[in-house]
C-alpha cells in the first residue's frame, strides 16, 4: 500500500494505491498535482475505484469538484470514477434532486451534489456503521462520523466554521510549553462530520483523520484500544487532523496512540497552520518512545514558517521532514 499525500493547497488530498487499486481521499483547494496523478492512472488504463470526500470544507472538496467536472467534460470519462462517498445533506435526507431550498448553505457541497446527479459513479454516504471496504489485501475501515451527527448537520439551516487564527510561529517552544492545555477544542459542526479512515494492509496501518474533532478522536481511539488489550494503539503513520491545528489535538487522544510518524498536509497559507503548539503537544503527550518523532510535510514552506530551532528539535526529540516527491510526500 503506497500513500501519496499530495500538494493540494491548504487542504488534504490523499491517493492510496495498492496494485491496480486507486483510492482518492479529498481534493484540497489546488487541483494541479491531483490532476497529474489522476492522469497517470487514466493513461495506465486504470480507474479510481473509490473517491471519498471527508467533509464539505473548501480545502477538502474543491479539488473533487474539479475532478468530477473534468470527468464529465471528457478528460477522463463517465466510467473513470467507480464510486464516490460524500456525506451530502441531500443524500442523507434522501433528496437527490437539487430543488429544495431548506438545506445547508455550502455552495460547493451543492455544486458537487448537482454534478453527481448526472454522473454514473455509484454515490453513497459513509459513517462509523458503514462496512469496511476491501481492495485486494487493503482494507479501509470507517471510524467516523456517527449517523446521528450527520442527521443533525444535514437538518441545519446553515453552519459556520470556527478556527483559531492566532499565530504562534514566532514564539519559542519553551514559552509555548508553559501554556499547553485542552481548554479550547475544535467542536465545529462541519469537522464533527469528518470521515475518519483506518487504512490497513499486512504490515502497514495508517490513520487518516480528516479534520476530526478531538472529542470524537478520543472515542475512536478508546474503541480501538479495546481491540488492543488497553494498550496504546499502534499506527505506522497518522495524518494529524485539521492540518496540524492545536485545537484539534488533546492530551487524552494522543496518549492512546503508539506512533512516531505524523503527516501534516498544508501549504501554510491559511489560518497560520500548522500551529507550533500542535507539534509540541504531539511531542509531549505521545507515550514515551525510544525513537524521535517525525513530522512529515507535503510542502516545504511550513517548516520554515514554524521556525523551530535546532536545539529545540533536539530537546523535544522531533524531526521535521519536507516533501520527498514533487507531488508531495510519499510513504
Q: Quick check: 119 and 71 in contact, CB under 8 A?
A: yes
d(CA 182, CA 147): 26
CA distance 154 to 148: 10
Domains, the chain, with CATH or none: 2-126 (3.60.15.10), 141-330 (no CATH)
Grid coordinates standing for 62?
A: 474543491
Predicted pLDDT at 156: 62
- Calculate Rg over the CA atoms of the chain: 19
Instruction: Determine the pLDDT at residue 106.
Output: 60
Are 51 and 64 in contact by the 8 Å Cβ rule? The answer is yes
Q: What is the pLDDT of residue 246?
A: 93
Q: Which three cell numbers stand for residue 268?
A: 501554510
- C-alpha grid cell for residue 308? 523551530
Q: Which of 86, 17, 4 is nearest to 49 (CA)?
A: 17
* Cβ pair 155, 38 in contact under 8 A: no
Cα gap 109→114, rounded to integer Å: 9
Residue with the three cell numbers 446527479: 117
Walk along the chain (331 residues) and give the pLDDT tens digit of each residue.
Answer: 999 999 999 999 999 999 999 999 999 999 999 999 999 999 999 999 999 999 988 899 999 999 999 999 999 988 999 999 998 877 776 644 444 444 433 677 888 888 888 888 899 999 999 999 999 999 999 999 998 888 777 776 444 344 456 789 999 999 999 888 888 887 777 788 899 999 999 999 999 999 999 999 999 999 999 988 878 999 999 999 999 999 999 999 999 999 999 999 999 998 899 999 999 999 999 987 667 999 999 999 999 999 999 999 999 999 999 999 999 999 9
Helix (H) or strand (E) holding 70: helix 58-72
Nearest of 205, 260, 196 to residue 235 by alpha carbon: 205
Alpha carbons 240 and 265: distance in angstroms, whole number: 8
Helix, strand, coil shares of the chain, percent, nearest 5, are: 30, 25, 45
Contact 295, 273 (CB under 8 A): no
The predicted pLDDT at position 108 comes to: 78
Q: Which of these, 109, 102, 193, lies nearest to 155 by C-alpha position?
A: 102
Burial 269-302 (b: 16+ CB within 10 A, else e): ebbbbbbbbbbbbbbebbeeeeeebebbbbbeeb
Amino acid at each position: 500500500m503506497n500513500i501519496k499525500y499530495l500538494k493540494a493547497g491548504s487542504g488534504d488530498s490523499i491517493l492510496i494505491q495498492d496494485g491496480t487499486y486507486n483510492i482518492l481521499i479529498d481534493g484540497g483547494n489546488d487541483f494541479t498535482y491531483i490532476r497529474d496523478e489522476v492522469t497517470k492512472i487514466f493513461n495506465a488504463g486504470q480507474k479510481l475505484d473509490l473517491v471519498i470526500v471527508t467533509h464539505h470544507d473548501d480545502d477538502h472538496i474543491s479539488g473533487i469538484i474539479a475532478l468530477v467536472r473534468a470527468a464529465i467534460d471528457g478528460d477522463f470519462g463517465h466510467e473513470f470514477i467507480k464510486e464516490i462517498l460524500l456525506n451530502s445533506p441531500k443524500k442523507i435526507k434522501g433528496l437527490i434532486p437539487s430543488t429544495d431550498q431548506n438545506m445547508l448553505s455550502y455552495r460547493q457541497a451543492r455544486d458537487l451534489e448537482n454534478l453527481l446527479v448526472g454522473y454514473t459513479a455509484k454515490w453513497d454516504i459513509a459513517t462509523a456503521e458503514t462496512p469496511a471496504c476491501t481492495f485486494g489485501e487493503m482494507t479501509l475501515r470507517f471510524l467516523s462520523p456517527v449517523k446521528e451527527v450527520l442527521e443533525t448537520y444535514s437538518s441545519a439551516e446553515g453552519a459556520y466554521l470556527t478556527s483559531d487564527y492566532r499565530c504562534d510561529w514566532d514564539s519559542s517552544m519553551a514559552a509555548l510549553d508553559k501554556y499547553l492545555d485542552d481548554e479550547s477544542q475544535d467542536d465545529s459542526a462541519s469537522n464533527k462530520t469528518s470521515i475518519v479512515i483506518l487504512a490497513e494492509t499486512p504490515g502497514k496501518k495508517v490513520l487518516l483523520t480528516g479534520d476530526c474533532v478531538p472529542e470524537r478522536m478520543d472515542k475512536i481511539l478508546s474503541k480501538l484500544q479495546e481491540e488492543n488489550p488497553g494498550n496504546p494503539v499502534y499506527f505506522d503513520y497518522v495524518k494529524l487532523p485539521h492540518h496540524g491545528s492545536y485545537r484539534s489535538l488533546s492530551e487524552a487522544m494522543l496518549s492512546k496512540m503508539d506512533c512516531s510518524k505524523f503527516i501534516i498536509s498544508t501549504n501554510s497559507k491559511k489560518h497560520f497552520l500548522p500551529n507550533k503548539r500542535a507539534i509540541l503537544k504531539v511531542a509531549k503527550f505521545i507515550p514515551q518512545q525510544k525513537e524521535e518523532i517525525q513530522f512529515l510535510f507535503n510542502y516545504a514552506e511550513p517548516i520554515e514558517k514554524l521556525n523551530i530551532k535546532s536545539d529545540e528539535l533536539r530537546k523535544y526529540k522531533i524531526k521535521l521532514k519536507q516533501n520527498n516527491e514533487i507531488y508531495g510526500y510519499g510513504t
